[in-house]
Structure 1
Amino acid sequence: MSLPLDGITVIALEQAVAAPLATRNLADLGARVIKVERVDGGDLARGYDHVVHGTGAHFVWLNRGKESIAVDVKSPAGRSVVRRLIDGADVFVQNLAPGAVERLGLGAHELRVDHPELVVVNLSGYGTGGPMELRKAYDLLIQAEAGLISITGTPETPVKTGIPTADIASGVTASQAVIAALLRRWRTGEGATIEVSMLEATVEWMGHSLYTQLHTGTQPPRMGLSHSSIAPYDVFPTRDGEMLIGIQSDRGWRTLVTEVLGIPQLADDPRFVTNVQRVRNRAECDALVAAQTASWRTDELDTKLSTAGIPAAQIKRLEQVADHPQLQARDRWRTIRIENATVEALLPPATFADIEAPMGDVPALGQHTHTLLSESGLDADVVDELIAAGIAIQAEAFHPTSPR
């Protein structure tokens, strides 16, 4: 069986996280993704750190299965190469600074005059127009502007999320939009110009918290590991650690107190009989639950909760996630190549019954430059001249040798 996006070519003038995540999602579905990088170091994420055998962790996460061409897009010859590549592509994705692609002659309007079937995605911090259009936009800043930080953390301390949520929200939105545009093009022959704003993607993810504000006029409080609308929903002590328990229904409350904690008298206690009452009396409710969970070892309590069908989880460290028994049992890890090593990477979370994502290599900077310059229609002597002049660079041999 073929991969869903076999035959689709994506040109990505991208850096950092949001756009690279979008195009990596497309590569995982079988698209050919050609990543255009700067000659002076390439994608910024290559240099965030060097923790994965000399390669940045962000870059390894976001760039498998892509081809890298390194050209100076500020030079006429470099721009010409990128335009040639786009002319033969189905999708063009970019997340440069606002107005940058237009100054390069690679704006959506100009590209689609000649290729109306092209799908163009412009991913930016705040979108076109409005007072913040030209503002710099990093994940932390967008989390702040979208209200995410205001509801994250403890009552005393707001915090950002531990992952780049704004980048991920916009990257996922962008890849979803590309697939929808390609589906429409298959039906009608019509391309698309798509704009994805990191702010708007993140505000969309604010979900029920935003609707609570809109319809009550009240800012949802920061709850730490708890939940503003559900109780008990928090971390509770055990004899040797702690356990997360989340009761979603009144039936679940009854099961928890009767079958697990051994305090059946609380099942019909008017203070706790409904979720509304439990939230209203959260402190008492949580204290009564904690008094019981503290008498169990974590593994014992985990088993009892699971057997009773109560939603619960242990708070795992990343070293435990790397060896998570569920991921191991479902055979979710694969070996991929990076510039200096082979490493393990997770399969994409969407599992097709008949095919598996290709899980291609993470490219070295300019690894495919020579090949792609030739594919763009340039003569061999012109290709050599561009590389000799530093307008394009070709990576050295790609020889991964080390295991994770």
Structure 2
Amino acid sequence: MSALLGLRVIDFTHAISGPTCTNMLAQLGAEIVKIEPPGRGDGFRHYTEHGGAPLLSIPFAAINAGKQSLALDLKSAAGQRIARDLIATADVVVENFRPGVMARLGLSPDDLRAADPDLIVVSISGFGQDGPMAHYGAYDHIAQAASGIAAMNATADGPLKIGIPIIDSFTGYVAVIALLAALRTRDAGGGGAHLDIAMLDAALKLVNTSVAVHSATGTVPMGTGNRGFRLVATSEFYPTGNGWIALGANEQTQVAALFRVLGHPAMIDDPRFATHSARTAHYADLRAWLIETLAGFDAAMLERDLVAAGVAAVRLRDVGEIAGDPHIRQRGTLEQVEVPGDERPLDVVAGFADAARVGARVPLLGEHGDAVLAALGLDPAAIAALRRDGVVA
């Protein structure tokens, strides 16, 4: 489907929610230039099953086919200048950094829109750009915990997460809807916009009827039916001495901070728990230790302390404590995409039948750098100098 043919999008997203948004835009015909950190790229390139060339996880392939990849150091002044030059050629910017990161990179949405009033900037985050929880980190299961979904999915053993990253994906779809509405407004002469899309708001739309029931009756609807996407003990739901807490300690720094907050900083030096692979191998031991240790904490106070320490964590809330909106689902079909280094095509969800685009290709990290930079007017010598300086890779 080519409804968005001619639309140019500069994509500063990673993981699932933002790339899902730009994936749908690509399936609707938009040109997507994906900006990734040199060397590592989008962290989702490293997740779970891999296929084809290096740095091509299957989950990454599923939501990034058909995009161009530019490996650009946004922490450098030269990289920021290139980013601004690219944005000057674009209709839309999509980013899913934590609130404030774009400004620290010299790419404040307000400044970008001041330079181009017709520009549409889509900011996707866990809890929104403002409000008391705006600084909270988020993964899919964190949003499920905060929104009441996990409480509604409880069993006799306690709250239970939905087993797929449903909120991540749904948030991307909500962002697409908001963007399409903003494009219609812009095309009618209303100018651009800065759209604030939150995973929590999208999750709440999924429990919209339960929010309404609570509003009408004062009762909290409970459902039936827990563990983070990385499948490690430090990223899961746990009972504390007073309520449940969802932990999202996936990265090494987060795990070390978690142990410090729990009063056991030396745990990060235990060979069983010192690395991600060790923690995975000793999952049962670490989970048992966390169950015993967390029983001595108050969930609300622990949430406060972990968030302050930079650990994604949230006390589990029921529907009566949170409210919001957004919702859309598209009927999906499969399309085949090419994975470099693998002769077999990969089946991925197109979103809906008319969006299928057979033959889309998953980008290697930085694969389109020369072409993207040349289109900005940089000659081969200038591009070579940028590569030599590590600004692009």
Amino-acid identity (%): 35
Name which of 338, 347, 350 aligns with 1:348. Answer: 350
1:282-326, CA deviations, whole angstroms, 9 ceiling, x for partnerless residues?
Answer: xxxxxxxxxxxxxxxxxxxxxxxxxxxxxxxxxxxxxxxxxxxxx
Question: What residue in structure 2 maps to residue 31 of structure 1?
Answer: 30
Other structure's SS at 1:392 match = coil
Q: Report matched runs for 1:272-283 at 5 Å.
A: none
Q: Distance in 1 between matches of 2:66 and 2:97?
A: 21
Q: Which amino acid aligns with 1:392?
A: V
Question: What residue in structure 2 maps to residue 362 of structure 1?
Answer: 362
Deviation of 1:36 (Å): 0.2
Q: Which amino acid aligns with 2:370?
A: H
Question: What residue in structure 2 maps to residue 391 of structure 1?
Answer: 391
1:205-235, CA deviations, whole angstroms, 9 ceiling, x for partnerless residues?
Answer: 11212222222222222334xxxxxxxxxxx
Q: Report matched runs for 1:1-400 at 5 Å.
A: 3-53=2-52, 55-188=56-189, 190-224=191-225, 332-341=333-342, 342-352=344-354, 356-357=356-357, 360-393=360-393
Q: Distance in 2 between matches of 1:50 and 1:344?
A: 13
Deviation of 1:332 (Å): 4.8
Q: State whether residues 38 and 392 of structure 2, in contact with CA within 8 Å, keep that contact through their aligned partners in structure 1.
A: yes
Q: Distance in 1 between matches of 2:390 and 2:101?
A: 22
Structure 1 residues 119 and 362 mapped into 2: Cα distance closer, same or farther (>3 Å)?
Answer: same
Deviation of 1:178 (Å): 1.2
Q: Distance in 2 between matches of 1:150 and 1:52?
A: 36
Larger Rg computed on CA atoms: 1
Other structure's SS at 1:202 match = helix
Structure 1 residues 211 and 127 mapped into 2: Cα distance closer, same or farther (>3 Å)?
Answer: same
1:153-205, CA deviations, whole angstroms, 9 ceiling, x for partnerless residues?
Answer: 43433211111122122111101111111112111151111110111111121
Q: State whether residues 333 and 356 of structure 2, in contact with CA within 8 Å, keep that contact through their aligned partners in structure 1.
A: no
Other structure's SS at 1:212 match = helix
Q: Distance in 2 between matches of 1:221 and 1:148?
A: 9
Structure 1 residues 350 and 50 mapped into 2: Cα distance closer, same or farther (>3 Å)?
Answer: closer
TM-score by length of 2: 0.69
Q: State whether residues 121 and 195 of structure 1, in contact with CA within 8 Å, keep that contact through their aligned partners in structure 2.
A: yes
Other structure's SS at 2:360 match = coil
Q: Distance in 2 between matches of 1:43 and 1:19?
A: 11
Structure 1 residues 14 and 332 mapped into 2: Cα distance closer, same or farther (>3 Å)?
Answer: closer
Deviation of 1:5 (Å): 0.5
Structure 1 residues 359 and 142 mapped into 2: Cα distance closer, same or farther (>3 Å)?
Answer: farther
1:315-359, CA deviations, whole angstroms, 9 ceiling, x for partnerless residues?
Answer: xxxxxxxxxxxxxxxx9544321232143224523223xx75355
Other structure's SS at 1:10 match = strand
Q: Distance in 2 between matches of 1:103 and 1:187?
A: 33
Which shifted more, 81-90 or 371-380? 371-380
Structure 1 residues 120 and 333 mapped into 2: Cα distance closer, same or farther (>3 Å)?
Answer: closer
Q: Distance in 2 between matches of 1:193 and 1:48?
A: 31
1:93-120, CA deviations, whole angstroms, 9 ceiling, x for partnerless residues?
Answer: 0011221101112111101111111111
Q: Distance in 2 between matches of 1:392 and 1:149?
A: 42
The CA RMSD measured in Å over matched residues stands at 1.9
Structure 1 residues 149 and 391 mapped into 2: Cα distance closer, same or farther (>3 Å)?
Answer: same
Deviation of 1:75 (Å): 0.3
Q: State whether residues 181 and 192 of structure 1, in contact with CA within 8 Å, keep that contact through their aligned partners in structure 2.
A: yes
TM-score by length of 1: 0.67
Q: Which amino acid aligns with 1:18?
A: S
Indicate the structure whose relative CO is greater, using CA pairs within 8 Å and at least 6 residues apart. Answer: 2
Q: State whether residues 36 and 42 of structure 2, in contact with CA within 8 Å, keep that contact through their aligned partners in structure 1.
A: yes
